Structures are given as structure tokens and as C-alpha cells.
Structure 1
Amino acid sequence: MTVMTLAGAINAGLRRALERDPKVVLMGEDIGALGGVFRVTDTLQKDFGGARVIDTPLAESGIIGTAFGLALRGYRPVCEIQFDGFVYPAFDQIVSQVAKIHYRTEGKVRAPMTIRVPFGGGIGAVEHHSESPEAYFAHTPGLRVVTPSSPAEAYTMIQQAIADDDPVVFFEPKRRYWDRADVQPDAPPDLDLYRARIVRSGSDATVVAYGPMVATALAAAAQAETEGHSLEVVDLRSLSPVDFDAVEESVRRTGRLVVVHEAPVFAGLGAEIAARITERCFYQLESPVLRVGGFATPYPPAKLEKHYLPDPDRILDAVDRALAA
């Protein structure tokens, strides 16, 4: 076991992918000598050269368009979008071209590329540097969308994403970049990239979260235990496809479900999960599925983000309402 930060685990996973496959190339703004704004790619250009770790111009559409062309020629490009709010200039390339090429060619052409996007809040950033745009991409057929919640998950999931023959949008919870935990570098992945994981067992209610909110959900579960309630926490990991079977199995045991994400509640991923689980578990649910998320406002200034982001108290309030129903 090696103790790593989540950022360091992604760096180690990228390094392993570069070592294993000469067709893997990294692309992004300031990812070379600087190592990226969060230093996720630190030392990789020094060790693998400027032809495989490429500093690009400040042009997100150009980064994705160039990577798409490389993917069509057999490479496995990994693009870094510096901040979540910067992905929108590349949105057309991603949803109109990258996502559709496999379907458009009747399965003859694939685009094995990974798009890394730091996302979410909690770091006191300025405007356009804290967003939760995952629902846009999860809504787009042809894209895989995943997010790790811990260093161990980040290390294996980035390698699995790069090895996938489909385009993967890899959302990295920037507020968790400096969280530390054990990572076993030589261990093979113990879970498919698109499977959810139960990170805490419980019996009274299921709390589903992903990315930055998993740690918050675990904190809420620990607090609930002191009050005599047992919460099961499910880390979704994959946002498209969603492992509904794992969520259903948990809800059939607990009878209640609370879905948590930083993105606004309206039309967020929680709405789809609530609808699907209500269909699947109608007779097992003891109360309506509840959602906890951001408010229907643009992401607020840094001084107000603590009021915007879900915290353990907001999760526990939803749990209390579910248990009282």
C-alpha cells in the first residue's frame, strides 16, 4: 500500500497508462512543464517527452477536435480541461462529433478518448471555475461519464477509462484532490468501471452519492449512527451508464432512498435515479425518494458556496424526512 492524494493517484494512473501503451498521449493547457493547474500531470512531460504530454493552445474546442482526429487514427488521447467551466467551448465537439461517431458509422469507427474535467466546488474559486455540468454529458447517448471519489478509485478508474474503446468523460472532484488514502498500485481493478460500490453498509435508508459528495455522505452516515440510524452509502462511480441494479438492491434492503449531488436538483441526475428506483422498487419504498443538491441559481461567489453546497446537515434533514414518512 502507498498513501496518495487523489491528484497523485490520477498522476500515477496516467503514468501507468503511458508506460503500457505507446498510443496514449496527454493533451491540455499547461499540463507539461507546469504539470497542470492542480499538478495532476506533474513530471509526466519530463519523463515521457513533449510528443506524448502536449501543451496545447488555450482553445478547448481545438483540444477536443485534435484529440478526436487522433482517436480516429488509433491513438488514445487523454485531454485535460483545466476547469469545469471551460468545457463549454468544446461542448459541440464532444456531443455532436465524439459521442456520435460510433453510431453514425454503424459501429465501424470508435473514438477511444478520455476527457478529464475537474468539477464541483469547495475550493473558493472565482466565476467559471466551479461548476457541476455532469448532467449535460450523461444525457448524451454515446458518452460514458464517470467520477472517482477516493485515491484508490481514481488510480484504477483513470486507467480503465483510457483503455475503454468508447469516449469517456472523467470528472475529477477538485475539492478532493488533496484527500489522502491508501492505494495499492499493483492490484488489478476489483470492479468494472461502470459498477457502483457500497462504501458503507446500513439498514434504515440508502444514500446515493458520487464524486465529491461521497465523503459528505459518509460524514452524514457517521453522524446518523450517533443518533441511532443506520445509513447505507452507495458510491455511484458511473453516471452514464448508471448501475441501477446496485441501487435497487440496496433500496430493497433499506426501503428508503436519498440521492445527493452538488449540481442543482432540478433536472439533475438525482431525478433520473429517483424515477427509475420508484419504478423498480415501488412496493418496497417506505417513503418517497428524496433529493439533496445545489440550488437553482448560478454557482455563487466563494464566500457563499458553503451555503450552496450540500453538507451533512442537509443530508440528515432529508433522511429524517424519509424516516418520518
Structure 2
Amino acid sequence: MAAITLIEAVTQALAYEMTHDPSVVVLGEDVGVNGGVFRATAGLSARFGEWRVYDTPLDEMGIAGVTVGLAAQGMKPVAEAQFEGFIYPMMEQIVCHAARMRNRTRGRITCPAVWRAPWGGGIHAPEHHSEANEHLFTNVPGLRVVLPSSPARAYGLLLAAIRDPDPVIFFEPKRIYRQYKEEVPDDGEALPLDVCFVLRDGSDVTLVTWGAQVKECLEAADALAAEGVSVEVIDVATLTPLDFDTIAESVHKTGRCVIVHEAPKTAGFGAEIAARLAEECIYDLLAPVERVTAYDVHTPLYRLEMKQMPSTAQIVAAAKRTLAAS
């Protein structure tokens, strides 16, 4: 079994589903002949043909609308937004139609569609190509928001997203597209949606994160472990519906929580987790909940880009503040 990158895991999952389910189709700008901006769909057009992997016009709203129509008529479309900043024109179709289809028809029609988008910063691109905007979708009933953090989770969660009968936003952290490899069996085994993954057990403080920031949180856990601090690391993976029970169980054990995300701080999804902790776990907390996030600015260009995102040192400092408070 060859080790593969996260982007290769996405391609592998798409190919598996297309091989085993003829209703799965892929559409988007340059996804066919060119294989996508990041080559997530490389080779799929030659393998499955232009009627199952087709290039669309440069029209994000049109792509989203066609995707809703295909899904409502029994297909399983996987649409690509070239970058997360290009998904805004798609929101009208996703929010007003895809997410409401099951409720609108009282369950007679569902919308088994997936919208994939490269997500987040760290590749020295302009701001529309470097946004962390998952929080714009987590407030939408009827819509799942999934953010994998490794090749194995990208493969298993994308399989689950395609098989889900309801619409899924599948954000792929492009900063770690090719950062490292791991062995991912191409066995068609999906990972569960709506479940947090506990990546590291600990007893002193809980780190809650998702996407590319998992890397920094694991580094912070290693740095704190060297100082005798036991850190639990939770990868949320599916932001909505949120598996809050796993987070609550961890905080019940550690009494401290640091939430880390790449999106701006104000009204980011970390605020929802912090609010739930205040409502449901207040008597378990030994210290105030900390949030380590991006600043409330648009992603700056190039030299300042990595300064915008949470660092390992910032996460370590936040964890130490929770320890010092009790």
C-alpha cells in the first residue's frame, strides 16, 4: 500500500465512488481536462468520460444550481469550487434550496450533493484564495460542514459525504494538501460523519480544533508534554451537526479547554463551542475557555499571511494560561 497525500486521498475517494456508483458525477471549472487547480480530479475524465466529469462555464451560481437539480433527480453530484472564496455565489443555491430540500418536500426529495472547496491560507495566494469561511455555513439547518485534517480522514469522510442523502460542504485544507503522506487503503471504508476524533488522550487540558490547525495543536501537545502537561487533542472534523458530547466528556476530565481555528475570532465556530461549554459544562471548568484564532482582518498577502494564523507558540501560551488560572 503506497502512502499518499491528502489531495491524492481526495482523488482516490472520488475514483472509488465513481467506480462503484454510476450516479456519482463530478462537475466544476477545469475539473475535467486539467484535473482541477490542485489536481484533485486528475485522471478522472480520461477514466470515466466527459459525461461524468465535466467542465462547466465560469459560473459558480450556475454550477450550484445544476448540482441541486442533479441531486433532486437522483444523481450524486460532487461539485468543486476552485477556492473557498469562490463559493459565495453558490450560497444562494446551497442555503435557499439544497439545505431546505428535505424539509420543503417533507422528506419526499433529498439533496445528496457535495460541494468541495480548497480551504484556508498558507499558500501565499490573494485573499479570495486563502479564506477560512466555514462559519458562514455552520448556522444553516440541513447542511453538513466537514473539514478533514489528514489523508485518511479526507478519504473516509469524503466517501461518507458522497453517500450521505443530504447536502455536505466539504472544505479541504490546502495548506496540508501535500504536506505529508500516510497509508490509506482504497477499501471503500467510510468514516463516520458527525463524530469528533480524539487524536491524543490527556488529562490536564483539552485542545479543540479542525482542519490544518490540527498540525499546530499536535505540535503544541508535544511541547507541553515535554513540560509534564497532559494534553487531549480533539479533531472536530464534522462541524455541523456537532458531536458536542465528545468535547464535553473531555472537558469534564481536564477542566480546561482551548479552541483553535483559522477563521477570524468574531462569530467563528469556536464561539459556538465556547457558548455550549458555558451552558452545559460550566461546573466542570477550572479556568476560562481560551480561543486562539486568526485576527478579524482579511488574509494579508504573503509576508504577513502566516502571522495571521494561530501558531504553535500561541496555542502553548493559551494552554498555560488555563493551567495558571486554577
Q: Does the pair score TM above 0.5?
A: yes
Cα RMSD, aligned residues only? 1.0
The runs of 5 or more residues in structure 1 that have no matched partner are none
Match of 1:276 in 2: 276
Aligned residues, how many? 324
Question: Quick one: structure 1 residues 96 and 275, their matched pair in 2 at CA, closer, same or farther if it must change by over 3 Å?
Answer: same
Q: Report whether the alignment pairs 1:180 with 2:217.
A: no
Q: Report whether the alignment pairs 1:56 with 2:56.
A: yes
Which whole-Å deviations, capped at 9, do the CAs of 1:249-277 have from their partners, x for residues lacking one?
Answer: 11111110000000011111101101112
Match of 2:80 in 1: 80
Match of 2:230 in 1: 230
Match of 1:23 in 2: 23
Q: Distance in 1 between matches of 2:224 and 2:130?
A: 29
Which deviates more, 306-315 or 272-281? 272-281
How many angstroms does 1:218 deviate by?
0.4
Query: Helix, strand or coil for the counterpart of 1:138?
Result: coil
* Letter of the structure 1 residue corresponding to residue 204 of structure 2: D
Which whole-Å deviations, capped at 9, do the CAs of 1:133-177 have from their partners, x for residues lacking one?
Answer: 101111111111111100000111111100000000001000010
How many angstroms does 1:186 deviate by?
2.0
Q: Distance in 1 between matches of 2:189 and 2:45?
A: 26
Match of 2:290 in 1: 290
Which whole-Å deviations, capped at 9, do the CAs of 1:266-307 have from their partners, x for residues lacking one?
Answer: 111101101112222111110011111111111111211111
Q: Distance in 2 between matches of 1:215 and 1:181?
A: 14
Query: Helix, strand or coil for the counterpart of 1:275?
Result: helix
Which whole-Å deviations, capped at 9, do the CAs of 1:14-73 have from their partners, x for residues lacking one?
Answer: 000101110000001111111101011110001000000011111110001011111111
Query: Helix, strand or coil for the counterpart of 1:128?
Result: helix
Q: Report whether the alignment pairs 1:122 with 2:122.
A: yes
Q: Distance in 2 between matches of 1:321 and 1:305?
A: 26
Report sequence identity in percent: 49
Matches within 5 A, 1:64-143: 64-143=64-143
Matches within 5 A, 1:124-203: 124-178=124-178, 179-186=180-187, 188-189=189-190, 191-203=191-203
Q: Is the 8 A contact 1:32 1:50 kept in 2?
A: yes
Query: Helix, strand or coil for the counterpart of 1:100?
Result: helix
Q: Distance in 2 between matches of 1:304 and 1:35?
A: 31
Normalising by structure 1, what TM-score?
0.98
* Letter of the structure 2 residue corresponding to residue 106 of structure 1: R
Query: Helix, strand or coil for the counterpart of 1:117?
Result: strand
Q: Is the 8 A contact 1:2 1:185 kept in 2?
A: no
How many angstroms does 1:185 deviate by?
2.0
Match of 1:241 in 2: 241
Match of 1:322 in 2: 322
The runs of 5 or more residues in structure 2 that have no matched partner are none
Query: Helix, strand or coil for the counterpart of 1:270?
Result: helix
Normalising by structure 2, what TM-score?
0.97
